[in-house]
Structure 1
Amino acid sequence: MAILVLSVLVLLLSLYFRLKKRQKNDGLNKFPEGPSHPLLGHLPLMTSTTDVIDVSMQLIRNHGKTVKIRIGPKILPMRTSLLTADSHLTEFILSGNKILKKTENYQFLKHWLRKGLLISDGDYWKRHRKILTPAFHLEVLKEFVQVFESVGDVLIEKLRRCEGTPSCDLHPFVTLCTLDVICETAMGTKMNVQSGKNSHYVQSVKKTCRIIIERSMSTLKLTDTTFWLCRDFYTLKNELKVLHDFTHNVINSKKNNKSIDKNTKRLAFLDLLLKFSQDENILSTDEIREEVDTFMFAGHDTTASGICFTLYCLADHPEVQKQALQEQKDLFGDEKNPVITYPDLQNMKYLEQVIKESCRLYPPVPIIGRYTTEDTEFDGCLIPKYTNIMLFIYGLHRDPDYFPEPEKFKPERFDNFDGSLSYTYIPFSAGSRSCIGQKFAMLEMKSIISKIVRHFEIKPTSPRHEVKLSAETVLKSLNGIKVTLKKRP
């Protein structure tokens, strides 16, 4: 027995000194850490999604643009990651082809999206990115303007409920609108969720997103090994069945519908993928479903966040709103319901600056992650293999070195923004893994926001509503995004 105990002690001491030696040679030691719990590291500082933004900003402001985030005791941490708002490190990561793998927390999406473009990597990702790129060609996007407009008209009617009320929470209205848009553009299916139809699908999307977020904040739900012990494991299983069955049914319906005209001018993303697959036999049914599900997930909440925060900024800045309205009048006179075309949206130059400035202050995705699969040298520092690197876009966008008076809402910043500092402003990421749908998102936001500006004067609530930012799958406000809407004469 004594020999066994002694052997275990020797083994533990050997492991300890081996890890200490590795830790000593670890290039991460060159980065500051900031105050942390001696045993739990930074884990107690980020117990909810509302802590993430504030704590990350404090660390960046007080200790440098790149800091260590540690989980576990300092003497022997379980996990050490990097949090960065440094444009040089951000450019190094995003502009190259060595660090393309997403961080481990993206794997919480795998039960829904499987190997979709958002979370896949390696040769599989490269092949699918190449296949999917034509689906976002300019000529394809032009045809979706009609969808943006028709779905936006329904939103205007729903927002009329808020006229004359002291407060209107935009997020529920706008989220249903963008979900209607992505259903029709991604799957070619009118869901009419704004009118209360297909509520089971809407609820499944909401519940699935909630569980994904809560998994990243819960020790018990963190791994699949223990997640099955939680009620949410079985809830997620049921909700995913609803989501997957719906997509499968739409795909099978389109495959079996021989009357579909493949030469129809406006095709949904699903139609295009089916056409590519039939022409080249390059995507299986499961692969198509995974990519359509990815469009559904990534294409509605992000855009809803961008629209809501832009309207919130317009409410706070009447002079900016006045200029945005004047641009609409210059284009369409006093017509509130003009027939909008793609060139019209392109001509909304000032509104585009407004949206870009809003996405600077409130980036729809505030943090993105990368994972090193090999030792990587940057600026004389060795970033070891298996390191999570969190690119803190929210902090990057509020750096006074890149954006003077960073807390102020100034759309004119983008009047002469030449892109020379392209890695200081990345609301849609950048490089080879940048958002494939960013042009789609900008067109949709322009269409919806311009329509609301033409119909309503947007004003702050009294007292002014202060958003409570939460870093979830996208940037949200836990207490809503509330404004006052007044019908324009």
Structure 2
Amino acid sequence: MIFELLLAALVAAVVWLIFFRDDDNPVDKLPGPPRKPWIGNAWELLQMPSDKLLDILVDYTNTYGDRYVFKVFSLRVLHISGPPDVETVLSHSKNIKKSAPYDFLKGWLGTGLLLSTGLHWHKRRKILTPTFHFNILKNFAHVIEEKTQDLVKMLKDKNGADVSLMPTISDFTLFTICETAMGTKLDDDKTSATVDYKNAILNIGMQMLARITRFWLHNDFIFNNSSRGKEFTKTLEVARAFADNVIMDRKAQRIQNKGEDISIADASDGIGTKKRLAMLDLLLEAEEKGEIDMDGIRDEVNTFMFEGHDTTALALTFGLMLLADHEDVQERIYEECQTILGDSEHVTMSNLSDMKYLEAVIKEILRLYPSVPFIGREITEDFKLGDITVKKGTTVDVHIYELHRRADMFPEPEKFMPERFLGTEMKHPYAYVPFSAGPRNCIGQRFAMQEMKTTLSELVRHFKIVPKVKGARPRIMADLVLRPVDPIYVKFIPR
């Protein structure tokens, strides 16, 4: 009897500490949705439909301003969308830990670059940074061009019929990331593996979003034993098996090619350096040196497979939707490409760097539709945000979507105006952060820009892009990334 009473008291104490302990906190002075005693805004969170979360948060920003607080029991979530605040958070050298909801992905991404923190993160970043060196990106260029030509050929075969963009473009970006960063070709795979993998990524995002809005599922034990948790486990098995096959294929190729000494001239100093064909090669070399184990390789491959294909596919999808509605922008891109490339069938890195207008177009696409609309941080060290002290344990969510649509930073923010990125200095260096910023900025942003420039330049050179319905815009939602809820259709009319 005494044991049961002590156990009940212990459980009650834990519940009180987690849910109901309510210390004074300076951020409580900030505005936000009305809070109920003890539970705060937990009831509002429970009632949020997953596909409406983005709309609701945008409404809160419009109502409460650049800073507002959402409270769930004793947890404070500080939402920010003002450039000075965004700079303070993203440039902080110590508060680099991702917020708690990212932990929901650990079964999939483990301690890969996206989720890790501290010394572990620094070590992985150091291993992976050479993957995106300029010379390595030059070696990727021919693969990206080859995949783009395959895409052009496939679209020509459509004979001007409506094309559903997202499934088409995500195939292209998945094949591209696998052959560049992973050194593995997928195009010849006639099984349903790629379809299953893409569906798994979509399901993981939806399941994570559903878990965020159901606070009782935040506990791993409860979630893992729920019907959603069991479904999530099955989905993870599909995603992880796909990545494991990519790793095993590359290991087999390396064994087969062992002993070959392929060298390239380093363009910066003329010194012969061993050619690293892929990010996966760097990881496998690090494994041979004892710097990473196979679980670590799997975590990084899963991370890059997701981040390297899904985010770029979404940016290209939204971009083609916008270009279809703006024939004048298409024609200006076409004229720029003709001036730079003429009749050449090949696009070099130098050609891409000369495409200043196309770069402005891509920046404007990412302003309106940032692939990652929010970034979350768990504060591990007290810091000052202007005149407010943000205490350890607080979650801070950076709202990139709303940041990019501020009228004081971008006049007529809802309009698609690429010229706003031509020769004009940004009003604030942190008003535009599509690839994040600071120490945790996106390691693959140069690769992403290279792929998007190559793809859009080639598509515009070969096609006039026409909308199925002029001015149509899909409903959008946020899970792991910014997604269209409705299909987006355009026509590719050969020039």
With the length of structure 2 as denominator, give the TM-score of the two structures.
Answer: 0.87
String of CA shifts for 1:336-371, please: whole Å, max 9, x gaps: x71111111111111000000010000011111111
CA contact (8 A) 1:53 1:470 kept: yes
What residue number does 1:273 align with?
283
Correspondence for 2:219 among 206, 219, 223: 223
Determine helix, strand or coil for the equivalent of 2:241: helix
Determine helix, strand or coil for the equivalent of 1:58: helix
Q: Give 1:437-448 correspondences, 5 Å limit.
A: 437-448=444-455
Q: Give 1:248-397 correspondences, 5 Å limit.
A: 248-257=247-256, 258-261=258-261, 263=263, 265=275, 267-278=277-288, 280-333=289-342, 335=343, 338-397=345-404
CA contact (8 A) 1:42 1:69 kept: no
What residue number does 1:51 align with?
52
What residue number does 1:187 align with?
182
String of CA shifts for 1:305-358, please: whole Å, max 9, x gaps: 11111111111111111111111111223x3x7111111111111100000001
CA contact (8 A) 1:87 1:396 kept: yes
Correspondence for 1:95 among 67, 84, 91: 91
Q: Indicate whether 1:160 and 2:156 are aligned.
A: yes
How far apart, CA to CA, are the structure 2 residues paired with 1:402 and 1:197?
A: 48
Shift of 1:227: 2.6
How far apart, CA to CA, are the structure 2 residues paired with 1:406 and 1:60?
A: 15
Shift of 1:479: 0.7
Shift of 1:63: 1.1
Shift of 1:207: 1.4
CA contact (8 A) 1:465 1:483 kept: no
String of CA shifts for 1:411-460, please: whole Å, max 9, x gaps: 11111243562211000000010000000000000001111111111122
What residue number does 1:42 align with?
44
What residue number does 1:399 align with?
406
Shift of 1:395: 0.2
In structure 2, do the counterparts of structure 1 residues 19 and 27 end up closer, same or farther at CA, with 3 Å as the change threshold? farther
Comparing 151-160 with 364-373, greater Cα deviation is found at 151-160
For the aligned residues, what is the CA RMSD? Answer: 2.7
Determine helix, strand or coil for the equivalent of 1:394: helix
Determine helix, strand or coil for the equivalent of 1:444: helix
Comparing 425-434 with 253-262, greater Cα deviation is found at 253-262
Q: Which amino acid aligns with 2:284?
A: L
Q: Give 1:460-479 correspondences, 5 Å limit.
A: 460-462=467-469, 464-479=471-486
Determine helix, strand or coil for the equivalent of 1:143: helix
How far apart, CA to CA, are the structure 1 residues paired with 2:294 and 2:180?
A: 19
How far apart, CA to CA, are the structure 2 residues paired with 1:275 and 1:452?
A: 37
Shift of 1:208: 4.1
Shift of 1:173: 0.7
Q: Give 1:69-88 correspondences, 5 Å limit.
A: 69-71=70-72, 77-88=73-84
How far apart, CA to CA, are the structure 2 residues paired with 1:267 and 1:15?
A: 54
Comparing 55-64 with 421-430, greater Cα deviation is found at 55-64
In structure 2, do the counterparts of structure 1 residues 42 and 163 end up closer, same or farther at CA, with 3 Å as the change threshold? farther
What residue number does 2:267 align with?
none
How far apart, CA to CA, are the structure 2 residues paired with 1:37 and 1:407?
A: 35
Shift of 1:126: 0.8
What residue number does 1:136 align with?
132
* Count, aligned residues: 467
How far apart, CA to CA, are the structure 2 residues paired with 1:121 and 1:266?
A: 26
Q: Which amino acid aligns with 2:176?
A: V
How far apart, CA to CA, are the structure 2 residues paired with 1:198 and 1:412?
A: 44
What residue number does 1:174 align with?
169
Q: Give 1:195-206 correspondences, 5 Å limit.
A: 197-206=190-199
How far apart, CA to CA, are the structure 1 residues paired with 2:355 and 2:56?
A: 37
Q: Indicate whether 1:211 and 2:215 are aligned.
A: no
Determine helix, strand or coil for the equivalent of 1:373: coil
Q: Indicate whether 1:68 and 2:69 are aligned.
A: yes
| Structure 1 residue runs without a partner (length 5+) | 72-76
Shift of 1:298: 0.7
Determine helix, strand or coil for the equivalent of 1:338: coil
Shift of 1:472: 2.0
How far apart, CA to CA, are the structure 2 residues paired with 1:113 and 1:260?
A: 33
How far apart, CA to CA, are the structure 2 residues paired with 1:378 and 1:458?
A: 45
Shift of 1:43: 0.7
With the length of structure 1 as denominator, give the TM-score of the two structures.
Answer: 0.88
In structure 2, do the counterparts of structure 1 residues 55 and 152 end up closer, same or farther at CA, with 3 Å as the change threshold? same
Identity of aligned residues (%): 38
CA contact (8 A) 1:183 1:296 kept: yes
CA contact (8 A) 1:174 1:307 kept: yes
CA contact (8 A) 2:27 2:390 kept: yes
